[in-house]
Amino acid sequence: MLKNENYRLEWCIDDAITSLPHFDKVDQVEWCSRLDLDGLTPDFTFAQQVITQSPVPVKVMLRNRGGDFIYGDKEIDDLIETGLKFRELGYDRFVFGAIRHGRLDMEAIVKVVDALDPAHICIHKAIDVSTDILADLVLLGEIRGINEILTSGGAATAMQGLEMLKAMHKEAAVGIDIIGAGKITRENVAQHHELLGLKAYHGKRMV
């Protein structure tokens, strides 16, 4: 299947060096390390090569450890420092999320967004563990610099979170794209799009 003008394909990858020749098969890339831990910050050693050779936009995951998304002040400062290192090489797209007391940690999110400004920020699936996804979606719409939200609609897969994904797509502020995720592949993305009508879809098997 070729790229589709109706939606973007986002490839989640932690092996950017060996996979660079395939980047042109998708519209954008989320670059991580340790997908076995649901994605951590990628190896800075390869950052110059990736930004120089990639034909499509590359988003850098900012997540310094596995486990939950509850971060202390020192961890947030460390993530910002890491993001600024990538910024110095020309990266301007980042993926981040944080939780506090069962909801998105808006204070931490604003701190990261402001520190990396101007940048294209995607809030990752931390939103899926929020106790009030739609309320947090509204709050994200008030933060300048939030451009995308990666989500499975609070479920394990996009199909299981179908109704919430539809609601999020409807309620998202202008300028924020909902990126559907959760067992979406190059083979089934068209089926997902028929049901959801989102602007972008994310998966490890988009190539």
What is the residue-wise DSSP string for 159-206? Answer: TTTHHHHHHHHHHSPTT-EEEE-SS-BTTTHHHHHHHH--SEEEETB-
Q: What is the pLDDT of residue 18?
A: 84
When pLDDT is averaged across residues 179-187 and rounded to a whole number, the result is 97
User: H or E stretch including 107?
Assistant: helix 106-116
Token pair 């202008």 in the structure block, residue: 174
Q: H-type helices in 23-102, by residue range?
A: 47-53, 73-88
Long-range (24+ apart) CB contacts under 8 A made by 161-167 are 161/128, 162/195, 162/196, 164/133, 165/196, 165/198, 166/196, 167/134
Q: What is the pTM of this model?
A: 0.96
Task: Look at residue 194 and tell me whether its pLDDT is greater than 90.
Answer: yes
pLDDT band at 157 (very low <50, low <70, confident <90, very high): very high
Q: Are strands 146-151 and 200-203 parallel, antiparallel or unpaired?
A: unpaired
pLDDT band at 2 (very low <50, low <70, confident <90, very high): low
Q: What is the pLDDT of residue 19?
A: 87
Task: Tell the CATH topology of 8-203.
Answer: TIM Barrel (3.20.20)
> Which residues, listed in sequence order, are joined to residue 96 by a DSSP beta bridge?
123
